């Protein structure tokens, strides 16, 4: 009898534990704080957007959103943290186009692009080609002439290895036939500071970092990447208009989660973020940062990611860019 009672008690305890586990598994998402991983330093465009989205998401869902900056290895460190995180929707990557460019540039990456599930393309961006006004250069043609006259003496800055700025810069060098030294920075904030401080002779600066300085008396803007002219700089030509085609692809800021995240959570998060981006408040904030607000749903962003991965692989191969 005692054995039977003990066995019955054990079965009841197991059943209760299973019931609790089942109830926990069915808790509505989200039911605890969400981590936003930003693979770049604080103060840059990615960090700013993460905090804007995070604040709104927290207000709408009633759960804290904690932004964690994890810079390192051109964004690979932060990307990898999310790729290897549990697929429960509580670890989110706020990434940039480098997410799809890194696999085209490195042979050994600790994660695969397929380890990340696209959630929403938040905004499109572009790079502005900027020089110190003290250089006396006012057009891209003048800069190219100056670089050809003194090969190996000029440099160009980017907001990191394996970013749009880096790949566009190398393609520009190849097309122009010039020898200028690449200087990568850990984010657009430090790059902009170096340009303003005179450490760079040219910089491919992300629009979000460049925007507060486009009226600066310290800088001249020579051209813009992307498929169209910069809205606030209608007189500044695109790279294609300046004679350097192939730099029409826009960069972007986008949100990802681990690939194992249930589709229902991906869809819920994507729909909420899309609504936030399209709200008048966020739309204006993004526009004021020099961005084109998008707010796409997961399926649309997935298609964009696949298209861009193929494009940037082609750019890396044609420009012979490799980080290995």
Residues of the chain with CATH 3.40.190.150: 34-124+250-318
- pLDDT classification of 20: cutoffs 50, 70, 90: very low
∠ CA 285-292-227, nearest 5°, is 155
What's the confidence (pLDDT) of residue 67? 98
The answer to whether the Cα torsion of 261, 93, 281, 304 is positive or negative is negative
Fold of 34-124+250-318: D-Maltodextrin-Binding Protein; domain 2 (3.40.190)
Instruction: Indicate the helix (H) or strand (E) that contains 80.
Output: helix 76-83
Q: Is the pLDDT of residue 157 over 70?
A: yes
DSSP at 29: S
Q: E strands, the chain, where? A: 34-38, 65-69, 91-96, 116-125, 127-132, 155-158, 181-184, 203-206, 219-224, 251-258, 292-293
Q: Is the pLDDT of residue 15 over 60?
A: no
Class (C level, CATH) for 127-224: alpha beta
What's the confidence (pLDDT) of residue 187? 82
What's the confidence (pLDDT) of residue 163? 84
Token pair recorded at residue 320: 């012979």
Show the 3-state SS of 197-232.
CCCCCCEEEEHHHHHHHCCCCCEEEEEECCCCCCCC
Place of tokens 């084109």: 292
Place of tokens 């460190």: 77
Neighbours of 175 (CB within 10 A): 16
What's the confidence (pLDDT) of residue 153? 97
More confident of the two residues 26 and 205 = 205
What's the confidence (pLDDT) of residue 121? 98
Token pair recorded at residue 196: 């303003």
77-102 confidence digits (pLDDT tens)? 999 999 999 999 999 999 999 999 99
Place of tokens 């961006």: 125
Q: 24: helix, coil or strand?
A: helix
Q: Is the pLDDT of residue 1 over 80?
A: no
Q: Is the pLDDT of residue 14 over 90?
A: no
Nearest one of 52, 90, 94 to 70, comparing CA atoms: 94
Q: Is the pLDDT of residue 7 over 60?
A: no
What's the mean pLDDT in 124-147? 95
% of residues, the chain, pLDDT over 70: 92
What's the confidence (pLDDT) of residue 216? 83
Q: What is the C-alpha to C-alpha distance for residues 50 and 253, in angstroms, rounded to an integer?
A: 10
**Rounded to whole angstroms, what are the CA distances from 48 to 36, 222, 251?**
12, 26, 16
- pLDDT classification of 43: cutoffs 50, 70, 90: confident
What's the confidence (pLDDT) of residue 22? 46
Q: Is the pLDDT of residue 70 over 80?
A: yes
187-234 confidence digits (pLDDT tens)? 888 899 999 999 999 999 988 888 888 888 899 999 999 888 877 788
Residues of the chain with CATH 3.40.190.10: 127-224
What's the mean pLDDT in 45-73? 96
- Mean pLDDT, the chain, rounded, equals 89
268-291 confidence digits (pLDDT tens)? 999 999 999 999 999 999 988 888
% of residues, the chain, pLDDT over 90: 68
**Full-model pTM:** 0.81
């Amino acid at each position: 009898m005692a054995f039977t009672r003990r066995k019955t008690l054990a079965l009841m305890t197991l059943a209760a534990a299973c019931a609790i586990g089942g109830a926990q598994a069915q808790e509505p998402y989200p039911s605890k704080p969400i981590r936003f991983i930003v693979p770049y330093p604080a103060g840059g465009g990615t960090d700013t957007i993460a905090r804007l989205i995070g604040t709104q998401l927290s207000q709408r869902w009633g759960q804290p959103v904690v932004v964690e900056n994890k810079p390192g290895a051109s964004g690979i460190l932060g990307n990898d943290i999310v790729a290897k995180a549990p697929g429960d929707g509580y670890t989110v990557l706020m990434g940039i186009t480098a997410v799809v460019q890194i696999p085209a540039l490195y042979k050994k990456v600790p994660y695969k692009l397929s380890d990340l599930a696209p959630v929403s393309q938040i905004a499109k961006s572009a790079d502005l080609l900027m020089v110190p006004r003290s250089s006396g250069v006012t057009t891209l043609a003048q800069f190219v002439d100056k670089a050809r006259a003194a090969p190996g003496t000029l440099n160009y800055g980017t907001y990191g290895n394996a970013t749009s700025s880096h790949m566009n810069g190398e393609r520009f060098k190849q097309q122009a036939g010039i020898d200028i030294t690449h200087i990568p920075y850990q984010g657009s904030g430090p790059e902009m500071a170096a340009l303003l401080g005179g450490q760079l002779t040219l910089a491919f600066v992300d629009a979000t970092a460049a925007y507060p300085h486009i009226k600066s008396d310290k800088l001249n803007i020579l051209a813009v990447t992307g498929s169209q002219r910069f809205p606030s700089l209608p007189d500044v030509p695109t790279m294609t208009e300046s004679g350097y085609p192939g730099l029409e692809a826009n960069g972007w800021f986008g949100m990802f989660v681990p690939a194992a995240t249930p589709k229902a959570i991906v869809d819920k998060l994507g729909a909420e973020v899309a609504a936030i981006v399209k709200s008048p408040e966020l739309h204006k904030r993004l526009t004021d940062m020099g961005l084109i607000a998008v707010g796409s749903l997961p399926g649309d962003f997935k298609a964009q990611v696949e298209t861009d991965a193929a494009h940037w692989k082609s750019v890396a191969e044609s420009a012979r860019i490799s980080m290995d």
